[in-house]
Amino acid sequence: MEPELTLEPGLAPLLDELITLEDLYHAAFPDATLADFDRLVAPGFWETGATGRRYSRAFARQVLAQRPGRPDPATWQTDQHHLQQVGADVWLLTYRLHQPGRVTRRMTLWRREESSWQAVYHQGTVVGG
């Protein structure tokens, strides 16, 4: 059984903000665009996919551009969101993503740049089917 994570007091509004940005980054939000990706994903971004392969920002953007549409909310569900600060302006967002045929544990490192946020790293790990 997984341990229950408790959110530090006062972080709920920031967690909600980063969950919304995560949906824009993944284009899971109905109004998400490639411009959102360009704004939200740092130039040096990279990710480790559920297969363990490393992917560049350019590859992640290409995959997003080739998606036929936004994920169906019935097949793209997240839960167990958690947020913790890991640096001066760096936050770790973790959650579980349920998709047809698999469940993954996800994490994104978000860095605050003045008044905006940028994703600098993302990882997905398969945890069930």
- 65-86: per-residue pLDDT in tens? 887 666 777 778 899 999 999 9
Total number of residues shown for the chain = 129
User: What would the two tokens of residue 56 be?
Assistant: 């560049």
**pLDDT (tens digit, 9 = 90+) per residue, 9-31?**
889 999 999 998 988 877 776 77
Quick one: pLDDT at residue 8?
Answer: 84
Q: What pLDDT sits at residue 2? A: 66
Q: What is the pLDDT of residue 129?
A: 65
pTM: 0.89
Sheet holding 54-56, edge to edge: 54-56, 41-48, 116-128, 102-113, 90-99, 77-87
The rounded distance, in Å, linking the Cα atoms of 83 and 30 is 24
Note the helical H segments in 26-105: 34-40, 57-66
Question: Can you give the pLDDT at residue 7?
Answer: 82
Spatial separation of the C-alpha atoms in residues 49 and 124, rounded to whole Å: 5
Instruction: Give residues with Cβ within 8 angstroms of 33, minimum separation 6.
Output: 27
Please give the structure tokens belonging to residue 96.
């579980």
Q: Looking at the domain covering 12-67+75-128, what would its CATH class be?
A: alpha beta
pLDDT surpasses 70 at 103? yes
pLDDT single digits (tens) 33-67: 888 889 999 999 999 998 899 999 999 899 888 87
Question: What whole-number distance in Å separates Cα of residue 50 and Cα of residue 112?
Answer: 26
Dihedral sign computed on CA atoms, order 83, 86, 91, 92: negative
